[in-house]
């Protein structure tokens, strides 16, 4: 079994959800890492930014992870707070 966690992918969802997906991976960037991982590992995280985020969050306590992910997800939305 292989679990793939690519993070944001430019699939058209972001546009429909009114999200900014400027640093999203292109679907074409997913195939090679996934196929390379088949039979060799159980998880694959395509994309440099996704790897950095996942591994850096691993050392943080839960409250800090929530704070970081809130900031990351706020960066994807087009809605501005006043």
User: Residue by residue, what is the 3-state secondary structure of the chain?
Assistant: CCEECCCCECCCHHHHCCECCCCCECHHHCHHHHHHHCCCCCEECCCHHHHHHHHHHCCCCHHHHHHHHHHHHHCCECCCCC
78 has a pLDDT exceeding 70: no
Q: Looking at per-residue confidence, does 52 or 80 come out higher? A: 52
CB distance 7 to 50 below 8 Å: yes
pTM: 0.63
Mean pLDDT value across residues 67-71: 88
Mean pLDDT of the chain: 84
């Amino acid at each position: 079994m292989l679990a793939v966690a690519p993070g944001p992918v430019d699939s058209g969802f972001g546009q429909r959800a009114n999200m900014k997906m400027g640093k999203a991976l292109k679907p074409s960037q997913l195939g090679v890492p996934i196929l390379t991982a088949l039979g060799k590992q159980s998880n694959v995280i395509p994309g440099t930014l996704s790897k950095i985020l996942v591994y850096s969050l691993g050392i943080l306590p839960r409250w800090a992870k929530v704070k970081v992910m809130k900031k990351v997800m706020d960066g994807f939305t087009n809605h501005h707070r006043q």
